[in-house]
Amino acid sequence: MTAPANVTKPTLLASTMRIFDLSLGQMLWSRRSMLLAFLVGAPVLLAAALRIASSADRLGLPRIHGARVGGAALFGMMMWLLYIRFIVPVLGVFYGTSLIADEVDDKTLTYLFTRPIPRAAVLFGKYFAYLACTVLLVLPSVVLIYLLLGPIGGTLGEAFPTLVSDLGVLALGLTAYGAVFAFVGARLKRPVVIGLVFAFGWEPAVLLIPGYLKRLTVAYYVQALVPHAMPQNSVVSQLMQALADAPSLPASVVALAVISVVALWLAGRTVERREYVLEQ
């Protein structure tokens, strides 16, 4: 079937962009994004509290386990503990798994699936809207934390290269986790539970096991890109440090790109073939 004479048949890219346009506003003002704002707002508040505390302290440096640490180290710890290990996977799970599920639950998928566009474009457009939405909320919060913590015991300029690489790592993490969980959401029932088990059960467990199994995680490649040393504040962290077997930076970037592309392709293929039954 061809398009009418005065209409251009929409390509996959054009359809993806139109779904992106349609979805971005919906996603930005969703209840999920309000939760996200709270999630990324909390570390900013924490950073502000640390800055105030350090200003009140005579030496200006907060103490952790009795030792005084500077702003750059605090910033690195927050990136590592809050963003890389928690916020990024959580966002991937909650947004990625809901790309199609939300349309199914809201029963609005019908309107998108009865238009002359490839069904995969619906998933791709919503995926890019997720990326834009999370990047727009997460990265500014990181910059704010940097501005708050950087001057503690140092200068903003010193830690600037670290900030740039951290922003890149976060964007890559959001890309890869989002793609993996988009596939989980398109393919499986109860995707949120499975996503949470993957991100907070499977990944941390497998990273502790020596061998090749850890290569089947996203965290293995994301954490290899982090420019900060892992804080050894717990037995688990010390164990992870001891068993660290990090891939090189280029290998990690390539691996994350491959994971993202393959997971997205699989998700698109699933959406093309799967039947979504909307409850009346």
Partner 1 sequence: MTTSAIVAADHLSKWYGQVIGLNDVTLSVPSGITGLLGPNGAGKSTFMKLVTGQLMPSQGEIAVLGEPIWQNPGLYFRLGFCPEQDAFYERMTGLEWVTALVRLNGVDEARATEMAHRALATVDLTDAAGKKIGAYSKGMRQRVKMAQALAHEPDLLILDEPLGGMDPIARRRTIRLIKDWGRAGKSVIVSSHILHEIESMTANILLINQGRILAEGNVHQIRDLIDDHPHTVHIKAERPRELARRFLAYDDVLSLKFEDEAVVVQTGRPDVFYTRLTELAAAGDLGTIHEVTSPDDNLQAVFQYLVKS
Q: How far is CA 55 from CA 47, 143, 263, in A?
A: 12, 20, 47
Residues 27-86 that bind partner 1 (CB under 8 A): 29
Which is closer to partner 1, CB of 58 or CB of 189?
189
* Closest residue by Cα to residue 252 from 229, 218, 206, 207: 218
Q: According to the binding rule CB under 8 A, does residue 267 interact with partner 1? A: no
Q: Could you tell me the smallest distance in angstroms from the CB atom of residue 10 to partner 1? A: 4
Q: According to the binding rule CB under 8 A, does residue 112 interact with partner 1? A: yes
Q: Could you tell me the smallest distance in angstroms from the CB atom of residue 16 to partner 1? A: 11
> Within the chain, what is the greatest distance between any pair of CA atoms?
76
Q: According to the binding rule CB under 8 A, does residue 277 interact with partner 1? A: yes
Q: According to the binding rule CB under 8 A, does residue 119 interact with partner 1? A: yes
Q: With CB under 8 A as the contact rule, which of the stretches 17-25, 129-137, 177-185, 258-266 interacts with partner 1?
A: 17-25
Q: According to the binding rule CB under 8 A, does residue 18 interact with partner 1? A: yes
Contact 130, 27 (CB under 8 A): yes
Residue selected from 36, 61, 84, 117 as contacting partner 1 according to rule CB under 8 A? 117
Q: According to the binding rule CB under 8 A, does residue 21 interact with partner 1? A: yes
Residue selected from 14, 34, 143, 216 as contacting partner 1 according to rule CB under 8 A? 14
Q: According to the binding rule CB under 8 A, does residue 24 interact with partner 1? A: no
Q: Please work out the total of residues on this chain that contact partner 1, with binding judged by CB under 8 A.
A: 37
How many residues in total does the chain contain? 280
Query: What whole-number distance in Å separates Cα of residue 188 and Cα of residue 198?
Result: 13
- Residue 93 exposure: Cα atoms within 13 Å on the Cβ side: 18
Q: According to the binding rule CB under 8 A, does residue 115 interact with partner 1? A: yes
Q: Could you tell me the smallest distance in angstroms from the CB atom of residue 122 to partner 1? A: 9
Per-residue H/E/C for 130-179: HHHHHHHHHHHHHHHHHHHHCCCCCCCCCCHHHHHHHHHHHHHHHHHHHH
Q: According to the binding rule CB under 8 A, does residue 215 interact with partner 1? A: no
Q: Name the amino acid, one letter, at 225.
A: L
Q: According to the binding rule CB under 8 A, does residue 133 interact with partner 1? A: no
Q: With CB under 8 A as the contact rule, which of the stretches 5-13, 93-101, 176-184, 261-269 interacts with partner 1?
A: 5-13
Contact residues toward partner 1 (CB under 8 A) are: 1-4, 7-10, 14-15, 18-19, 21-22, 25-26, 29, 106-108, 110-119, 272-273, 275-278, 280
